[in-house]
Amino acid sequence: MNAVVAELERAVGAGSVATGEAAAEQAHSLVARLGTPLAVVKPRSTAEVAAVLRAAHAAGTAVVPWGGRTGLVDGCQAEGAIALSLERMNAVEEIDATGSTMTVQAGCILANACDAAEAAGLFLPLDLGARGSATIGGNVSTNAGGNRVLRYGMMRDMVLGLEVVLADGAVVGAMNHLIKNNTGYDLKQLFIGSEGTLGVVTRAVIRLRARPASQNTAFLAVDDFAALPKLLRRLEAELSGTLSAFEVMWPEFYEFVTTEPAKGRPPLPRGAAYYVLAEMLGAHPEADAERFEQVLADALEAGLVSDAVIAKSQAERAAMWGLRDDVAQPFRNGPAVTFDVSLPIPAMPAYVARVKEDLTARWPKAELTVFGHLGDGNLHLIAGVGDRGARHAIEQLVYAPLAAIAGSISAEHGIGLQKREFLPASRSPEELALMRTLKAALDPKNILNPGKILG
């Protein structure tokens, strides 16, 4: 292994390679330790990434790509591996205002990329809670979702081109800038969502959008689940495609984020069956505000909404979104086990009821809070039963019902190590076999993020 480290130092310079305690000190994420890497390597260019992978491939040494390390499924665990951090490759290389594209290095933090797009009069619509730490490369490798999928889609829908370094160090430069390019296999799709198991993303071409001139946000109370999809479709239709978020909170979650020690306070009285955070992004500030208010008034009159409050300032808007994002506080019946699932909207009430019933049948004091991007079928569940050793049993109860309703065990967080055992609940044997074929073809020595997704 000393020979491998020496080769890495020759490839990128001794100042870009950390080993021993220096490597171990960096091996942490927002939620977990990431093992003890053989080395943490920080290349400055695609050529250096390629050199690192050539050395690792020759030695048969595992390589785990690191972005912002904000993932929640142990996808960055790097015990005994080369941790390949792209934090120094963080430049926004170009913004093409005419073509509405951004060329950006993989280590660029999402918030910085969004700021650069805004400064150019454009809009990068990806938005998620880890926006200040997550990187573009990590967003690509996990096919990140977030708060605006309803209108703009997942990361997959924003990527036009990629530069990727393969396991043997070969560089695939598919930096396409065209929206339409129907020339055979769309190779970038192999790497979007592959969690660094097929190649290391080093640069990306991202499609940008027109920057919104207006932002209108409201908190709504809804008295029964049947009204939620009717309200969603009504807002989509009457706001003519400008609805960008439709976030739903179950009452337990609403109470969780509006009572101490949480810092948030309830914008609407407690006691409703569901709460909705709705937002539209438009082009005409005054007209959009009037339209938004009228559409919500009509929904109130139609009985789809029982109460509503519209944000009148950026501070009020931030407070509303702060409730939706306040999931990092200590869970009252911890330790918390968090889940990220998707399922058909009509199946949600029965699914949540079954999970609650199964949890309390086994742990009478179990608590479950639910919230999510209901508009795109994504729910987040936080379960606590007061037993640190119960995680696997809780996972079994949460994932078990999904196969029968064509649901997914992972809506946007990926598989990593945590969900690997349960992947067959969402993918057929034939799909899994094809995934393994692709992995074997692109990474025959199994050095790229080994053990993640497929094991």
CATH at residue 183: 3.30.465.10
Give the separation between CA 235 and CA 218, rounded to whole angstroms: 12
Q: Are residues 386 and 318 in the same domain?
A: no
Q: What percent of the chain has pLDDT over 90?
A: 92
- Residue 23's φ and ψ, nearest 5 degrees, are -75, -40
201 and 101: one domain?
Answer: yes
Same domain, yes or no: 133 and 218: no
Rounded distance, CA 258 to CA 263, Å? 7
Angstrom CA distances, 392 to 189, 357, 396, 397, stand at 32, 17, 6, 9
Alpha-carbon gap, residue 157 to 160, rounded angstroms = 8
Q: Where are the alpha helices (DSSP H) in 20-101?
A: 20-26, 46-59
Residue 81 has pLDDT above 70, yes or no: yes
* Of 75, 67, 88, nearest in space to 34 by CA: 75
Beta bridge partners of 32: none
Tokens of 58: 């020759």
Q: Are 438 and 454 in contact (CB under 8 A)?
A: no
Q: What is the CATH number of the domain that holds 415?
A: 3.30.70.2740
Q: Are residues 226 and 300 in the same domain?
A: yes
Q: Is residue 238 part of a domain?
A: yes
Alpha helices in 309-448, H assignment, sequence order: 314-325, 348-362, 391-399, 429-442
179 and 242 both lie in a single domain = no
Would you state the pLDDT for residue 32? 83
Q: What is the pLDDT of residue 263?
A: 86
In a domain? residue 444: no
Place of tokens 């508009």: 375
User: Residue range 212-216: average pLDDT?
Assistant: 97
Average pLDDT of span 341-368:
96
Is 168 within the bounds of a domain?
A: yes
Average pLDDT over the chain reads: 95
Mean pLDDT of 27-37: 88
Q: Which two tokens stand for residue 247?
A: 């976030």
pLDDT at 269: 97
| Domain co-membership, 433 together with 343 | yes
Say how far apart CA 220 and CA 269 lie, in whole Å.
Answer: 10
pLDDT at 327: 74
Q: State mean pLDDT over 423-436.
A: 97
Last residue of a domain, one of 85, 108, 128: 85
Residue 53 lies in a domain: yes
If asked whether residues 259 and 307 sit together in one domain, one would say yes
Residues with Cβ < 8 Å from 428, sequence gap 6 or more? none
Is pLDDT of 22 > 80? Answer: yes
Same domain, 100 and 177: yes
pTM, two decimal places? 0.94
Whether the pLDDT of residue 225 is over 70: the answer is: yes
- Residues 199, 246, single domain; the answer is no
On the question of pLDDT at 390 being above 70, the answer is yes
Same domain, 102 and 197: yes
Number of domains in the chain: 4
Is residue 414 one of the residues assigned to a domain? yes
pLDDT value for 392: 96
In a domain, 314, yes or no: yes
Tell whether 286 and 367 lie within a shared domain: no
Task: Clarify whether residues 122 and 225 are in a common domain.
Answer: no
Segments forming the whole domain that contains residue 126 = 92-210
Mean per-residue pLDDT, 59-71: 96
Answer with the one of 210, 233, 257 that is the final residue of a domain.
210
In angstroms, the CA 280 to CA 267 distance is: 19
**CATH number of the domain where residue 255 is located:** 3.30.70.2190
End-to-end CA distance of the chain: 24
- pLDDT surpassing 80 at residue 329: no
Domain C-terminal end among 180, 210, 240: 210
Residue-level pLDDT at 328 = 65
330 pLDDT above the threshold of 70: no
CATH number at 8 reads 3.30.43.10
Of the candidates 133, 148, 5, 114, the one whose C-alpha atom is nearest the C-alpha of residue 72 is: 133
Q: How confident is the model at residue 262 (pLDDT cuts 50, 70, 90)?
A: confident
Instruction: Give domain status of residue 330, yes or no.
Output: no
Backbone torsions φ then ψ of 217, nearest 5 degrees? -130, 140
